[in-house]
Amino acid sequence: MARLAYAGMLAFVLAATLPLHRVFRLGVLRQPRRLAQAVLPVAAVFLGWDAVATAIGVWSFDPGQVLGWSILGMPVEEWAFFLVVPLAGLLTYEAVGVVLDRRSRRGAETAQKPST
């Protein structure tokens, strides 16, 4: 069960944030090119950093807490981390924007109503 720790955490993050797309009618997943432009350059930099740090022994991954599949010496979960977490951040950011916009519009409507 411990081998699922990292993958389970990523699944939990997705399960908690993917519904925001539907609930708030976000456009994040409907714009794959913009999503890739936001996520992939940053992921590439940090994956490179991770690969170097792992290779020179700055840090490592507990083999008992990962699935055991690796790419360039890093577990697949680490690769997924740099896609899942930014996606969750974008979904959360966009959802908060929708909520704040709705509140702002309600406040403006209330301010415009004549007092009796």
Query: What integer pLDDT is reported at residue 2 of this predicted model?
Result: 93
Query: What integer pLDDT is reported at residue 116 of this predicted model?
Result: 59
CB atoms within 10 A of CB 17: 19
Query: What integer pLDDT is reported at residue 60 of this predicted model?
Result: 93
CB atoms within 10 A of CB 81: 20
In 3-state terms, what secondary structure has residue 66? coil
Return d(Cα 62, Cα 112) in angstroms, integer: 59
Over residues 44-53, the mean pLDDT reads: 94
Over residues 30-59, the mean pLDDT reads: 94
In 3-state terms, what secondary structure has residue 70? strand
Question: In this prediction, what percent of the chain has a pLDDT beyond 70?
Answer: 97
Mean residue pLDDT across the chain: 93
Place of tokens 């807490």: 65
* Chain segment 66-100, per-residue pLDDT in tens: 999 999 889 999 999 999 999 999 999 999 999 99
Phi, psi of 41 (to 5 degrees): -60, -40
